[in-house]
Amino acid sequence: MTTSVQEQRLRRRFEMWDQNGDGTIDRSDWAGEAKRILDSFGESESSTKGQALTKAYLGMWEYLAGQAGVGNDGALSLELFQGVAEKQVLDRGQVGFDQVLRPTIKAIADLCDTDGDGQVSPQEFRHWIRAIGGDNSTADAAFQQIDADSDGQLSVEELIQAVHRYHSGELEFSLL
């Protein structure tokens, strides 16, 4: 069962994806988000990182749409999205986050990781936050809260935990 904080955060996510404001989200909304992120990084959709991010976003869509019973070409209303996200992600805890969100978070982390060290630095993280509409002060505060081992770098594990903590109401910063 979702809490009011979880419902509010799922609503916010839904509204961010529903770019045309028609009250539904579909495959094109998820593809559009991937393209917006790639554009903000100056990355081509045809590059290796571009293909990985697009595949991850569309894979997340296909999984949730399939679980909701609307199929790849269907659409999700807010209520349907909240229901499937609750059942497939939130209620399943870490297993749900790993299955549904890990590929997308990893693809974004790989996109951010411009120096190729497998970690996201504060500077790389600022770019991520700007790509999703935040600013440097938000990025710096979020980085400090997410960097669980205080090593000055963010791992994919720390980023997944941050998304989990955000949706459970423990963290105020959205990464997706």
Count of the separate structural domains present in the chain: 1
pLDDT at 1 (0 to 100) = 47
**162 assigned to some structural domain:** yes
Quick check: is 176 in a domain?
no
Quote the pTM value. Answer: 0.87
Per-residue confidence (pLDDT) for residue 149, from 0 to 100: 94
| Cβ 17 vs Cβ 24: under 8 Å | no
CATH number at residue 12: 1.10.238.10
Sequence-distant contacts of 65-69: CB under 8 A, at least 24 apart: 65/27
HSE value, Cβ hemisphere, 13 Å, CA-based, for 33: 25
Query: Given this model, what pLDDT does residue 2 score?
Result: 58
Has residue 132 been placed in a domain?
yes
Residue 40 lies in a domain: yes
Alpha-carbon distance of 143 to 155, in angstroms, equals 11
- Compute the distance between CA of residue 46 and CA of residue 68 in angstroms, rounded to an integer: 30
| 96 found inside a domain | yes
What pLDDT, on the 0 to 100 scale, is given for residue 155? 92
- Low-confidence stretches of the chain (pLDDT < 70) are 1-2, 176
Domain extent at residue 131: 4-167
With respect to residue 175, please indicate whether it lies within any of the assigned structural domains: no
